[in-house]
Amino acid sequence: METLLKITELTKNFGGFTALSGVNLEVGAGERLGLIGPNGSGKTTLINCISGAFNQSQGSIELKGREITGLKAYQRTRLGISRSFQIPRPFSSMTVLENLLVPIAFVGGSDGPKEVEEAMAILQQMGLHLKAHLQSNKLSQVELRKMELARAMAAKPKLLISDEAMAGLAGAEVDEILQILFDLNATGITVIMIEHIMQAVMKFSQRVVCLDTGKIICQGTPSEIVKDPHVQRAYLGD
Amino acid sequence: MAIKLVITDIHASYGSVRALMGVSLNLQSGQTVALLGTNGNGKSTLMKCVMGMVKPSSGSILLEIDGEHFDLTKLSTQEIVNLGVALVPEGRRLFPKLTVQENLLLGAFRPAARAEIATNLEFCYEAFPLLKERQHQLACSMSGGQQQMLAIARALMSSPKLLLIDEPSVGLSPLLVSTTITKIKELKEKYNLTVLMAEQSFHQAMRIADYGYIIVHGEIVFHSNVDELQNNQMIKSFYLGA
Amino acid sequence: MISLDLLFEAVIFGVLLGSFYAAVSLGLSVAFGLLDVPYVAHPALLVLGAYCIYLLGTLGLDPIVSGILLMPVFFILGILIYRIYYETFEKRGSDTDVRGLAFFFGLAFIIEVCLILVFGVDQRTVRASYIGSSLEIGEYRLPYRMLVAFAIAITLTVALTQYFSKTFTGRAIKAVGQDQEALRLMGADPVKIKQLAFGIATAINALAGAMLVIVGPVDPSMDRIYIGRTFCVVVLAGLGSMSGTLVAGLVLGITESVVLMTLGASWAPAVSFGLLLVMLGVRPQGLFGR
Amino acid sequence: MKFWISSLSLLAFFFVLTLLGVNEYFFFAGFVVLQFIVLATAWNILGGYAGYVNFGVPAFLAVGAYSAVVLFKAISAPIVVQILGGGVMAGLLGLGVGLLTLKLRGIFFSIATVAVVFILETCVNNWRYVGGATGLQLTRPEGLWLFSTYTRFLFFMMSLLALIAVATARYVQTSYLGRGLRAVRDSEEAAECSGVPTLKLKLIACTVSGALMGVAGAPMPMYLSFVEPTSIFNLSYAISALGMPIIGGTSHWVGPLIGAIVLATVQQVVTVTISSELNVLVLGVLLIVFVIAAPDGIIGLFKKWKRFSK
């Protein structure tokens, strides 16, 4: 599997507090990677550095061999790094369809009738096409999550970061989102999933990385991870 | 001072945080109950329901203090706090730009606690000597562990009858987690506090709990006294979803 | 080169002027500094206070006395204004930025225009024993009216600092802006605490209004220049620090008075706004911002 | 297309009007109403679409006006050159103010724009060449081209500028720019992660909005044949430019247009019949009423009424 994303010696501190220290990680093209770790372990900081919301203190991030540290978030999105937000951030004054036309227009470069079709296709895939013309602040919780993923898809990503898209959803809704992520990955998109719902992460990921207090404490296949003493200590407490 | 908390068949959801589907739990005087499960499963939602910060869609939360009955779902957070229920919230929620002492004094806002402010403050400084040293320092300039101590001390300043603690170990290194839990154990026994604690760290919780409830996807999947919990193999599967 | 003792006199006058600027900004330091309410109508309330003092002055009342008498009235006015703001904006949690600003900006203009319609545009003053005469120290003449303003400013600042650090509601007011939910967990009702804070912020304007009309004649559209001065002081002070407000007021007062003396009166108005722009650009959290 | 047909025919109608023997006062008042259309439309590009509240409208007006005065005094430039000069200079000021949005949001941005007004006013007060605080008399040329009086010519010129302003706002709203700006207003963070160059868009909006305000200010010295700082650096321009879009409705380019026509006409009537102070009071009261009761303005009410009556 050819490397899509390469992170070397990534460190990020806020004032005195070190959120990430010396993280090294490689993500293959088309891979399904799970990222787990207790609250405050640095997961969100890591993806904020990858997506460009934060600038790391040290270390480098390469996308397909090209260093992207200096680029702003919107430039990284155009290069193919897309993310959904843990707490959905819809463009509330716009309809669901218009929400998707923003990334399509600004990444694709135009938003004519062809693009509207493209957006409708993505909504169809998410099961939201019936609500395309509904004001986005009228959506339910799970629909908002789906729109976040749809909006990330509309930016034609090579790497999709799903940040706790299933937190707080009912069992059936979790499976729905899980199936969507599987389908997206099937089209060749690399997916990094951050979740606390262990069954989902273990079912979805080919490889799981466990973070704790800003460092990667272990990585491996789901079955290896479950048995790993570090993970148990991080999750169950020593 | 007899106190009893009876939660029956609570259904609730709170923004994007886990819905509760028929949760029942009860707590006797002087008892310490642990609410266990990885986060995002409804532990904090339940704590918020008890504190009146989230209104459950159905079910009841009855608090009995010295024979008097209160239905907490009908009361505002302020009224519940005035009854003597204190919460150490998830993420501590200190007042960052206020000093340690100002945070502590705010803890004693409720009228009943104002009378005992001197004794409570003296007790907190003795229980957490570090806080006495840094009483004029801003809360935001303290480390995670120190902030956790301050959050617990602030709750104790209201001389609570029932103490709720929501995930004290979040963001703390393993070593700090055990010292925090030891301190809670010490305070609990010394003042026979009734404690309901939500905690991810299973082993830490076992050190101080008398009884435990495992919550997964908003439902209580297992509950028993501590010894039974200790040697039950199913627990690991609930935690790690194996 | 300007002579040294002229500069010294400018600094002394600057201290008196600065303490006055601090006093008129205290209310804003509470409403905007602590509560983050975009209270651009604060200066208009100040001028309204000054005109009420002028009215009571025509009945022969001393400005400071009428200022103190007026405080409870302005306290209730402040609570009323906050109730409207809370019910329309904060409660619905809508994007309060654009509409919240428009609300207070509109309120400021309504007050200004009503004053023009009632009192006309010409300036109004009050008479009091301490206005017009000066204290002679060596060859410096310090006008009593400025000394009175200085005294009121210091007492107001000290009283407020004590209130915020020594009383329960005072501490709650400082806390509500930082974490409203956490304050609820202490057993306080954030809405009542904010309402009380807003009442205090507006009540101060009654006494500060008295100082405004003591220090010099007032006219209805004076509130516009004071938007610059009060916000400059509050931003310079770092949001919500009372003692910082006093120091920031002194910094502004001295700068303005030195500029007044060196470049002349025509450049003075730009000082407060220039300082404000620099502070907003360089250090938005202010000199003492924590 | 419908837009262009109706607006060009309106322009032609205004042109014919200037030829007829209509009372001179109509053109005098008409100029002010058209000027407010330009101002309100320009304000809305930044305030309505991107959500940045600009209180510094008088500063942009003044930069437009005084650039025109300098061009007229230095090289006695014709009015068209004055307007272009005013627009360019005000656009540069807009760019400068736009850089503020890098760090400042909400009330801090608004207060910074108020600061710009007072700082520029102090500078102009001390600038002898343009008349300083006392102001400057300007001799107006006689009638121009086919217009019998200069006021009629200025009236037509301002109607042309109003068309340009509304057309610009319409273009911004319907193009990707408008969509990007609304994304910035709803959630700047999500917009950045959807590929929207948020800073670039904010700078474009500030520059375009500033330039249009400058263009509205440029003809003022000729219109009054006198210019002085206190009248042009007047914050009531800010309350009007802010009030009209909020009353009309900020979500669509028609909003500021309606708000400006309704309110500027009312103001002209009130100023003549009662007093000029009262018209600012009328505006202040209406602004508060609409901000509280009808947040989406007249077009919001119209949409609700249409949905209700269906």
User: How far apart are alpha carbons B217 and A200 in whole angstroms?
Assistant: 12
- Summarize pLDDT for B204-213 with one digit per residue, the tens: 888 888 999 9
Q: Is residue A78 part of a domain?
A: yes
Residues of A in contact with D190 (CB under 8 A): 85, 89-91, 151
Q: Is residue B5 part of a domain?
A: no
Does B186 or A15 have the greater pLDDT score? Answer: B186
Q: Is residue B42 part of a domain?
A: yes
Residues of C in contact with D239 (CB under 8 A): 105-106, 109
Pick the range with the lowest mean pLDDT from A224-228, B6-10, C62-66.
A224-228
Please give the pLDDT value at position C137.
79
Residues of B in contact with A146 (CB under 8 A): none
- Please, which pLDDT band fits residue C285 given cuts at 50, 70 and 90? low
Pick the range with the lowest mean pLDDT from B13-22, B127-136, B147-156, C5-14.
B13-22
As a whole number, the mean pLDDT across chain D is 88
Residues of D in contact with A47 (CB under 8 A): none
Instruction: Look at residue A235 and tell me whether its pLDDT is greater than 50.
Output: yes
Here the CATH number for the domain that contains residue B131 is 3.40.50.300
Please give the pLDDT value at position D37.
95
CB count within 10 Å of CB D309 equals 6
The domain tally of chain A equals 1
Q: Is residue B216 part of a domain?
A: yes
The residue range of the domain holding A60 is 3-88+157-236
**Closest CA of chain B from A39, distance in Å:** 6
> C273 vs D114: CB contact, 8 Å cut-off?
yes
User: How far apart are alpha carbons C186 and C175 in whole angstroms?
Assistant: 10
Instruction: Look at residue D234 and tell me whether its pLDDT is greater than 60.
Output: yes
DSSP D45: I
* Burial annotation C199-223 (CB, 10 A radius, 16+ → b, else e): bbbbbbbbbbbbbbbbbeebbbbbb
> B77 vs C185: CB contact, 8 Å cut-off?
yes
Q: Is residue B3 part of a domain?
A: no
* Burial annotation C54-92 (CB, 10 A radius, 16+ → b, else e): bbbbeeebbbbebbeebbeebbebbbebbeebbebbbee
The domain tally of chain B equals 1
Q: Is the ipTM of this complex over 0.85?
A: no
Q: Is residue A52 part of a domain?
A: yes
Q: Is residue A150 part of a domain?
A: no
Does D43 or D266 have the greater pLDDT score? Answer: D43
* D186: nearest CA partner in chain A: A91
**Closest CA of chain B from C240, distance in Å:** 10
**Mean pLDDT confidence for B152-158:** 91
- Please, which pLDDT band fits residue C286 given cuts at 50, 70 and 90? low
* Contacting subunits of A (3+ beta carbon pairs below 8 A): B, D
Residues of A in contact with D251 (CB under 8 A): 93
Q: Is residue B72 part of a domain?
A: no
Instruction: Look at residue C290 and tell me whether its pLDDT is greater than 50.
Output: no
Instruction: Look at residue C259 and tell me whether its pLDDT is greater than 50.
Output: yes
- Please, which pLDDT band fits residue C76 given cuts at 50, 70 and 90? very high
Say yes or no: C80 contacts chain D, CB-CB below 8 A.
Answer: no
* Contacting subunits of C (3+ beta carbon pairs below 8 A): B, D
> Which D residues 140-199 touch C at CB under 8 Å?
185
Please give the pLDDT value at position D310.
63
In this complex, the residue of B174, B200, B242 whose CB is nearest that of residue A226 is B242
Please give the pLDDT value at position D148.
75
* Nearest-5° Cα angle at D281, D276 to D287: 130
Q: Is residue B103 part of a domain?
A: yes
Please give the pLDDT value at position A175.
86
**Mean pLDDT confidence for A184-207:** 90
- Please, which pLDDT band fits residue B241 given cuts at 50, 70 and 90? low
Contact A167, B17 (CB under 8 A): yes
Does D147 or B97 have the greater pLDDT score? Answer: B97
Nearest residue to A87 via CA among D187, B144, D199:
D187
- Please, which pLDDT band fits residue C288 given cuts at 50, 70 and 90? low
Say yes or no: D108 contacts chain C, CB-CB below 8 A.
Answer: yes
- Summarize pLDDT for D45-78 with one digit per residue, the tens: 999 999 898 999 999 999 999 999 999 888 888 8
Q: Is residue A137 part of a domain?
A: no
**Mean pLDDT confidence for C133-156:** 83
**Closest CA of chain D from A235, distance in Å:** 31
Please give the pLDDT value at position B239.
62
Contact B166, B42 (CB under 8 A): no
**Closest CA of chain D from C269, distance in Å:** 7
- Summarize pLDDT for D127-173 with one digit per residue, the tens: 888 888 888 888 877 656 677 778 888 888 899 999 999 999 999 99
> B97 vs C184: CB contact, 8 Å cut-off?
no
Please give the pLDDT value at position B237.
67
**Closest CA of chain B from C139, distance in Å:** 45
- Please, which pLDDT band fits residue A237 given cuts at 50, 70 and 90? low
The residue range of the domain holding B82 is 29-52+77-236
Going from N- to C-terminal start, the domains of chain C cover 4-282
Does D160 or C228 have the greater pLDDT score? Answer: D160
How many helices (H) does chain D have, and how many strands (E)?
15, 2
The dihedral through the CA atoms of C202, C206, C208, C212 has a sign that is: positive
- % of chain B exceeding 70 in pLDDT: 91
Among A37-46, B95-104, C263-272, the range of highest mean pLDDT? B95-104
The helix (run of H) or strand (run of E) holding residue C142 is: strand C140-143
- Summarize pLDDT for A87-131 with one digit per residue, the tens: 888 998 899 999 999 999 998 877 788 889 999 999 998 888 898
Here the CATH number for the domain that contains residue A30 is 3.40.50.300
User: How far apart are alpha carbons A41 and B144 in whole angstroms?
Assistant: 13
Nearest residue to B236 via CA among C109, A198, C28:
A198
Please give the pLDDT value at position C81.
93
Please give the pLDDT value at position B61.
94
**Closest CA of chain B from C42, distance in Å:** 25
- Summarize pLDDT for A116-127 with one digit per residue, the tens: 999 999 999 888
In this complex, the residue of B78, B107, B138 whose CB is nearest that of residue C290 is B138
Please give the pLDDT value at position C46.
93
Please give the pLDDT value at position B242.
43
**Mean pLDDT confidence for C186-213:** 92
**Mean pLDDT confidence for D6-14:** 88
Instruction: Look at residue C287 and tell me whether its pLDDT is greater than 80.
Output: no
Say yes or no: A221 contacts chain B, CB-CB below 8 A.
Answer: no
Instruction: Look at residue B16 and tell me whether its pLDDT is greater than 60.
Output: no
**Mean pLDDT confidence for C10-22:** 90
Please give the pLDDT value at position A182.
93
Pick the range with the lowest mean pLDDT from A220-224, C2-6, C27-31, C261-265.
C2-6
- Summarize pLDDT for A134-191 with one digit per residue, the tens: 988 888 878 888 999 999 999 999 999 998 888 767 677 888 889 999 999 999 999 9
> D277 vs C117: CB contact, 8 Å cut-off?
yes
Answer yes or no: CATH 1.10.3470 is held by domain C4-282: yes
Please give the pLDDT value at position C262.
84
Q: Is residue A151 part of a domain?
A: no
Q: Is residue A20 part of a domain?
A: yes
Q: In the block, which residue shows the tokens 């008042």? A: D29
